Amino acid sequence: MSVIPSAAERPVFVNRMFARIAPTYDLMNRLMTFGQDQGWRRKLLEACALPPHGKLLDVGTGTGDIAYAALQQYPGASAVGSDFTYEMMAAGVNKVAGLDVPFVQGDTFALPFPDDTFDAVVSGFLVRNVEDRVAAFREMARVTKPGGRVACLEIAPPSNALLEPFFRFYFFRIVPLLGGLISGDSKAYAYLPHSTVEFPPPPALARIMERAGLHNVVYQEYMIKTVAIHVGTKLKG
What domains can be seen in the chain, in order of their start residue? 10-157+200-233 (3.40.50.150)
The whole-number pLDDT of residue 224 equals 86
- pLDDT mean over 87-110: 95
Q: How many CA atoms lie within 13 A of 167 on its CB side?
A: 20
The whole-number pLDDT of residue 236 equals 85
Quote the CA–CA distance of 181 and 177 in Å, as a whole number.
Answer: 6
pTM over the 0.85 mark: yes
Q: Is the pLDDT of residue 25 over 90?
A: yes
Quote the CA–CA distance of 167 and 172 in Å, as a whole number.
Answer: 8
Q: Is the pLDDT of residue 95 over 80?
A: yes
The whole-number pLDDT of residue 1 equals 41
The whole-number pLDDT of residue 2 equals 53
The whole-number pLDDT of residue 94 equals 87
Which ranges in the chain belong to alpha helices (H)? Answer: 10-21, 25-32, 37-48, 65-73, 86-92, 133-142, 164-169, 175-183, 186-197, 202-211
Quote the CA–CA distance of 77 and 87 in Å, as a whole number.
Answer: 26
- pLDDT mean over 72-95: 96
107-110 CB contacts, 8 Å cutoff, 24+ apart: 108/59, 108/60, 108/84, 108/136, 108/139, 108/140, 109/135, 109/136, 109/139, 110/139
Closest CA to 122 of 232, 17, 10: 232
Span of 74-78, 88-92, 187-191 with lowest mean pLDDT: 187-191
- pLDDT mean over 57-67: 98
Which DSSP category does 69 fall into? H
Q: State the amino acid at position 107 in one-letter form.
A: D
- Stronger pLDDT, 224 or 80, i.e. the higher one: 80
Q: Is the pLDDT of residue 125 over 50?
A: yes
Q: What are the C-alpha distances in Å from 114 to residues 91, 110, 143, 167? A: 27, 10, 6, 41
| Residue 106: φ, ψ to 5° | -165, 160
Span of 18-22, 51-55, 141-145, 187-191 with lowest mean pLDDT: 187-191
pLDDT class of 214 with cuts at 50, 70, 90? very high
Q: Is the pLDDT of residue 193 over 60?
A: yes
Q: Is the pLDDT of residue 3 over 80?
A: no
Query: Bridge partners of 110?
Result: 107
pLDDT class of 87 with cuts at 50, 70, 90? very high
Span of 62-66, 163-167, 176-180 with lowest mean pLDDT: 163-167
Q: Is the pLDDT of residue 213 over 80?
A: yes
- pLDDT mean over 128-135: 95
Query: Bridge partners of 218?
Result: 231
Kindly give the interhelix angle for 10-21 and 186-197, rounded to the nearest 10 degrees: 130
Quote the CA–CA distance of 169 and 177 in Å, as a whole number.
Answer: 11
